Structure formats: structure tokens, C-alpha cells
Amino acid sequence: MLTTDLSVTAGTLRMGSSTGVSGDNSASVRIEGTVEQINAALNGMVYAAPSSPQGVTLQIRTQDASTPEPLLDSDEFTIAVVPAAPPAPVSSPPVHTLASGGATIVTGGSLTFRDGTGITVSDPDSTTVATFVHVNSGKVLMASGSGATITGNNSGFVLVNGTLAQVNAALDGMVYNAPTTAQTVVLQIESIDGGGLSDRDSFTITVRTGEFQTNQAASIAWGQPNFTTRDTGDPDEYNLRSPQGPLAIAGQLAYVPDTFQHRVLGFYSGAATGFAASIVIGQIDLRHDDLTASHQTNPYPSSVAIAGGRMAVVQHFPSRVSLWHSIPTLSTHYATAVLGQAEWDDSRLRCGASGLNQPLGVALSSNGSMVVVADTHNNRVNIYNFPQSGAFEPPLQTVLGQASPSQCDPNRNTGPSEFTLNRPTGVWTDGARLVVADTQNNRVLIWDTIPQPGASDAARGADRVLGQHDFESVQPNRGLDAPTRFALHGPKSVASDGTRLAVADTGNNRVLIWLNFASRSSGAGADIVLGQEDFVANDQNGGGAPTDRTLAEPEGVHFHEGKLYVTDRNNHRILIFEQQ
């Protein structure tokens, strides 16, 4: 065995190996061990100099274990510590390279800065830079994983700090998300280098009004790795199984009802095709699909609604609507109130003012104060005030489709009219207007003003109907062999962005869109069809395999920031359509 002692008169020593080393990273270090171990520690030894110029002596002394007297060797090594060379002066400013001529995108759309529209920063004599990106409307989202320090990401003013390589990595793939109104947006970029020199440039983005187009392709699919598969399997973070009803979006999370895996999945709302969900509500993790009824679970979720910082989920077979007073962001954020049942583990099918019978749709008013439920097998729509936390069976404020809460027959057993419903499935409201997918009457009913609590039966009829030419007609596709722009077959979901109305025309494997629906009269034809090449086709997946243009029994539609999200049930996926 050998012992080696090293010391320096100033500074510190750090060994290349820690075996047998004591006092490492100091001015005096001892190594004890075999010749091989001592040489391993010395190999890669680092001397850290003091901050002031001086002469330093490094002494090394090694002795063995000979008896009766140990043998030793001692040597010295002189190190001259000289002043550090001053940094080269920064005399040239940073320079931006960006495309000329600006860009044009549609309202609610996005622009990725890469390739021909990319922005880069260069600087001949500075290795670090701070870059500011500002837009007067919309939001800027920097690419992640660059190593740069990013402040204010996904906002109108973003600061990126780091080396030139890190800042350019963040700029490569930067996404601008446009506002929902047409306007001219100026993106300003300013970079300041280590010497305080700067460059400033601007890029003009024209945000124009866009529109959906008949038979257009979807841009993104969730739940499948691509547009041509329709696979499902054991629950994980990627797959969906027969999702029903619309999703809802809050912040950067889209909450998707994964109906037959008894959970709600949270996808990043900007996720690409095949992207994994990041959270699950209703299961302990992304690998379970347990079917139980409690405040922690989501049995057969069939519709999600979010507004005013609150969330509602219809759970079809327990015949209830679970409510969250704040939007959950973790699997341990459990529901706080319930409609339709007196206990969390109850699942009775009931008519009356307190009960529900296999509901399928839910909507919240824009401020979250009103809950509208498609009480499907009670053949009615129920309207509640959003209850207090911990509430069960809150009072019903208004019922539509029946003369009273105690009556639950299809079409009141008297025949269809503006006062009746037959298996309503989807609902949409902004708090003032109401739209209902009256599924087995093959129509959509529109109330231009929601009836107030206590309104007479005569004042609770719908104002307009789509899919039929009058309130008394109910045949699928108006009795024709093929659909038209005027007809519906078992519609199951409705949504509006305030101007457009989208309807999941489930039995025709398509989605219809009416423009300026507030001014359209009863029986008016749709303007746009998705999922089919024209208004007379209705084959599932066009008679073949799924593509980015086809649908198979869509059961959910939802507008958000210029995009239309379609729940494509039999293809086990969500399709996202962007305005063209």
C-alpha cells in the first residue's frame, strides 16, 4: 500500500478518481491505496487557480509501507498564475435573419416559424444574447427543450435568454397563435448581446377571416398514431375506445371523454397527431379502466363541458352529472357535486324533478352558472343552477320537452311538436340561447331565448327546427333514400362559436355546419359538410378505411379558437379541423 500527499500553496486540487481520496477539492489532498488506485486518482487531476496572479508550488510526497522505515519520494512543481486575458471587446451587434414579405393566416389559426418563415440570430463577437418577441395580438409559444431560459411563454411578450445556439433552438419551431378576429398583427423581435448592442426587426402577420370547407381534411388526430388506423387496445396514454360526446378545453388542456375506458383524458390542446395524454381523470393512472361509481371515478363519460372555471361530465350509465367547482389538473382532483343521484355510489334510473335517466349531453353557460343536461331517456332537457360544493340532487329550475318533471315519455305520447323531445343527446348554450340535438326525431331544435323558471308550458316551445321542414316531421333524412343539406339522421351533438352551428349528423357519418345560424329560418340547409365529399354521400369512412377526410358515427363537436374538434366514435379518435 502507498500513501500520496499533495498540497498547493494557493488554489485547490480535485482528483480524477475518488477511491482512497480524502480532502478532495482543497489545498491538501491524501490518496491511500495501490499503485493502480493512486495513478487513477492522479489521472485527470485538476488544479483550480486563485483569483490573484502569483507563483504557486505544488508538492507531491509518496511513501510506501516498508519496514522498519518507510521509503518515500518527494517532488515539487511550480505553477505561474498570470492575469486572465481581457475578453475581446464586443463591437458588432446581433443580426436577425427572417423571411421578408410577412405571412397570412386565418383567425384562430397558427403559424410555425421554421424553414422559409424561420427567425435566427447571429453575432460575430458575442456568445450570449437576450431576445424579446412581442405581438400586439395573439400569443407566441417558444419551442421547448432548447436549454434557454424562457420567460412569459405562450403570451404576447416572451423573453429568451441563453447562448446563441440555445436561443436559436427556441426560435426554431416558435408558434404564433392568432386571435379569433381579423386584423393586422406586428411581431417585433429585439436581441441584445453581451456588449449591450442590439438589433430590432418586425414581421407583419395578416390575420384574415377563414372558413371551413366541404370535405376538407383534418389537420390532427388524437387517439390514433395516424389518420388511417382505427385501433384500440388496453388503456394507455395514447388510445381511445369509442369516445362519445364533445370534449372541452381549458387553458392548454383538452378534456376528452374516453367513454368505454371510463375516464377523461387530458391532452395538451396543441398536441400533434399521435400525441400522448398528460393526465387522466377517473382512474388511478393511465393503465386502468375500472368501472365503479364514486366521486373519484368517471364511469361511461359521455360529454364534457367547461366554463367559468368549472367543469361538468355526464356519466351515462350511473345516470348522473359530476361537477367540479374548479377545473381538475390532477387525477386526485375529484368531483365536488352531483346531479341526478342522492349518493355517489347510486345509479338509479329515475324520472321526476331529482332524477336522471341515462343522460348523454351537458353544457354550461358562458359564465358557468347554468347547467343544461340532455336527460336522454327521460326525453327532456333539464336546466339547473350550478350547485354549491357537496350538493346532491339540486333543484331543477326548468324542464323542456315535457309538460312537467313527472312526465318522461317520448314526444309526450302525443306526437312531435316544438314542445316535445325524443331521446335528446346533445346540448349547447351561451346562457341566452339553447340548441338541442333531438336525436330520434332526427332534428335540431333552437330556442332563441331560454325559457325562464316558472314559464308556462306554452312558453317553453322551441323557436326553430333544422333537419325537418316543420315541427311535426321526424323521418330520417326527411324520408328520402339519401341525405341532403336539409336533412339529418340521428344527430347526437351540437356546438356553436356564436356564429356558426355545427351538428354531428351521426347516422349520416358527417358533420354539418350552418353559417350565421342565428338568422337562419326553420328547415334551412347546411352550408358545409365534413366527413363526406358532398351532401348526398353518407357511407362510414366513405365505404373504405379511415382517412383524414372521413368519419364513422361522429358523436361530438366542439369549437375552440377557430378550430372544430370532432369526436369520431367508431374510428376511436378526435379529429381537429382548422379554418382554411
pLDDT tens readout for residues 398-448: 999 999 999 999 999 999 999 999 999 999 999 999 999 999 999 999 999
Same domain for 330 and 238, yes or no, is yes
Cα Rg for the chain, rounded, in angstroms?
Answer: 33
Same domain for 154 and 247, yes or no, is no
- pLDDT band for 366, please (50, 70, 90 cuts): very high
Give the pLDDT confidence of 26-43 residue by residue, as tens digits.
999 999 999 999 999 999
Nearby residues of 374 by Cβ (< 8 Å), 6 or more positions away: 303, 314, 359, 360, 361, 362, 381, 424, 425, 426, 427, 436, 437
Average pLDDT, the chain: 94
Averaged pLDDT, 542-548: 97
Q: Quickly tell me which residue has 350511473 as its cell.
A: 318
Helix (H) or strand (E) holding 157: strand 157-163
Q: What's the CA gap between 42 and 58, in Å, rounded? A: 13
Give the pLDDT score at 80.
Answer: 85
Same domain for 442 and 301, yes or no, is yes
CB 509 within 8 A of CB 552: yes
Tell me if 214 is assigned to some domain: no
- pLDDT band for 153, please (50, 70, 90 cuts): very high
- pLDDT band for 53, please (50, 70, 90 cuts): confident
Same domain for 227 and 108, yes or no, is no
Give the pLDDT score at 138.
Answer: 95
- The grid cell for 580 is 382554411
Q: Is the pLDDT of residue 501 over 70?
A: yes
Neighbours of 94 (CB within 10 A): 26
- The grid cell for 533 is 365529399
Give the pLDDT score at 560.
Answer: 94
Ramachandran sector of residue 286 (left: φ over 0; alpha: ψ -120 to 50; beta: rest): alpha
Give the pLDDT confidence of 368-387 residue by residue, as tens digits.
999 999 999 999 999 999 99
Q: Is the pLDDT of residue 90 over 80?
A: no
Domain stop point among 208, 237, 254:
208
Q: For residue 115, what is the domain's CATH number? A: 2.60.40.10
Tell me if 405 is assigned to some domain: yes
Domain stop point among 58, 81, 104:
81
CB 558 within 8 A of CB 247: yes
Q: Is the pLDDT of residue 89 over 80?
A: no
Tell me if 275 is assigned to some domain: yes
Same domain for 64 and 111, yes or no, is no
Q: What's the CA gap between 330 and 526, in Å, rounded? A: 40
Give the pLDDT score at 101.
Answer: 82
Give the pLDDT score at 145.
Answer: 83
CB 76 within 8 A of CB 95: no
Same domain for 65 and 167, yes or no, is no
Tell me how far CA of residue 178 lies from CA of 173, 186, 250, 373, 577, in angstroms: 16, 11, 17, 33, 16
- pLDDT band for 203, please (50, 70, 90 cuts): very high
Same domain for 344 and 253, yes or no, is yes
Same domain for 453 and 482, yes or no, is yes
Q: Is the pLDDT of residue 87 over 70?
A: no
In the chain, what percentage of residues exceed pLDDT 90?
86
Q: Is the pLDDT of residue 358 over 70?
A: yes
Same domain for 28 and 119, yes or no, is no
Same domain for 335 and 280, yes or no, is yes
Beta-strand ranges (E) seen in 259-360 are: 263-268, 279-281, 301-307, 310-315, 320-324, 337-339
| Better pLDDT: 88 or 182 | 182
Q: Is the pLDDT of residue 116 over 70?
A: no
Tell me if 89 is assigned to some domain: no
Tell me if 390 is assigned to some domain: yes
Tell me if 561 is assigned to some domain: yes
Q: For residue 266, what is the domain's CATH number? A: 2.120.10.30
**Domain of residue 429, residue span:** 220-578
Domain stop point among 208, 229, 255:
208
Tell me if 186 is assigned to some domain: yes
Q: What's the CA gap between 517 and 235, in Å, rounded? A: 39
Q: What's the CA gap between 129 and 169, in Å, rounded? A: 13
**Nearest by Cα to 286 from 325, 251, 256:** 256
Tell me if 213 is assigned to some domain: no
Same domain for 39 and 170, yes or no, is no
With DSSP H G I counted as helix, E B as strand and the rest as coil, what are the percentages for the chain, rounded to 5?
10, 40, 55
How many domains, in total, are found in the chain? 3
Give the pLDDT confidence of 247-286 residue by residue, as tens digits.
999 988 999 999 999 999 999 988 899 999 999 999 999 9
Same domain for 490 and 565, yes or no, is yes
